Chains A and B, each alone.
Chain A
């Protein structure tokens, strides 16, 4: 085996070993972001399908090391609806770089989303690893960076580790005692932004609902979770797996 291939294989094996010993989803995420970071992909978004059809983007996110401002703009401008990356991760199991997405010249929105990501946020080069299981699309990892190692070997190493990470996350999740989901999808969305430190006003702008509605949802969530403060609500949401930071 060539020396670059051997070197990257050993990096992958080290990450897989860490993943195999991981007891929490955050340790799995550290292991995979450690590996991808060593190839220059310092922004990572790990998405997992819960199987529910109408899911908003935030609900699907297992790990997000995305520039904060980009995440906000993404949500505010509803990029998820026009992002060419997301549907392709769902459709096919093969990995792809952003350069390999053939965007029709008429798809101006998609083109400008990719341009904004590159010029304003340093998300210049991207790589996506779908994970398709028994029943089709299960999860995907979207990676980006300003300067990345674009070799076949790096891509192969990331591909391999992504699969093992997803498998371990599934095992960890199945071992957790299932707390029944008690928040509605909308309430969960609101609590996600509260957890991110957003004010009610900012959250209302991001979600395009009134500030009053946001406050009502937070109160409802606090009632359902049986807590007295927003901080407690956030902690309880995380503990129950209603949201993931």
Chain B
């Protein structure tokens, strides 16, 4: 795989992959990320059932096996991020949304479930958003992933396709709590990455120069 110039710390923004092995090193941004999730999901979207302590939004899929992809600035302020979880473990698609999948729910060591994609309101169309889109592909390729499964709002499909994503539907859209949602598989490959790079005009690596090794679940 071609290596691209990585960002140096101190440049305006960077994407970090945070997980069990480096979580103490990145405790501050992890804390800020849980607070952002509370702002977005509990406060803005009204997911009352996820209110625990009024500070963090967390659910059973926040544990030692979780990887957090977080967009931060030079001051470690969190602009947005998403969460990745092994599909070989019980995850959202198997536990909460099995009805969204037509055949067998994909469970493979090279597939992760992507959830809790959130952006700070002020950063919705910012370069952080574009970098997170690139991070989906870049992280996947670096880790040897085939793709990600995810439950998304159906209406996001044309938007993500216009950014270059290759989306495979796993079932028909359904309305849940007044919102149309669908289970999909985002493919990870070099062609996708180059389409996304072209769409957002970012041709450097969005991660820091070293990506921590992912632990096998």
Interface residues of A (CB under 8 A from B): 1, 5-6, 8-10, 12-13, 16, 93-94, 131-134, 138, 152-153, 156-157, 159-160, 163, 166-167, 170
Contacts and interface: CB of A to CB of B under 8 A. Distances in A.
Contact of A163 (B102, B157, B172, B174): B157
Contact of A156 (B155, B157, B162, B174): B174
A101 B158 CA distance: 24
B169 interface: yes
B173 interface: yes
5 contacts: A1-B101, A13-B169, A94-B180, A133-B158, A156-B173
A9 B171 contact: yes
Nearest to B98: A1
A97 to B, nearest CB: 14
B63 interface: no
Interface of B: 99, 101-102, 154-155, 157-159, 161-163, 169, 171-175, 180, 182
A163 B158 contact: yes
Nearest to B182: A160
Contact of A134 (B155, B163, B171, B182): B163
A133 B159 contact: yes
Given A94-B155, A160-B157, 16 more contacts: A1-B102, A1-B171, A5-B102, A9-B171, A10-B102, A93-B155, A94-B180, A132-B158, A138-B158, A153-B172, A156-B172, A157-B172, A159-B154, A160-B169, A160-B173, A163-B158
Contacts of A132: 155, 158-159
Contacts of B163: 134
A139 to B, nearest CB: 9
Contacts of A156: 172-174
B159 A9 contact: no
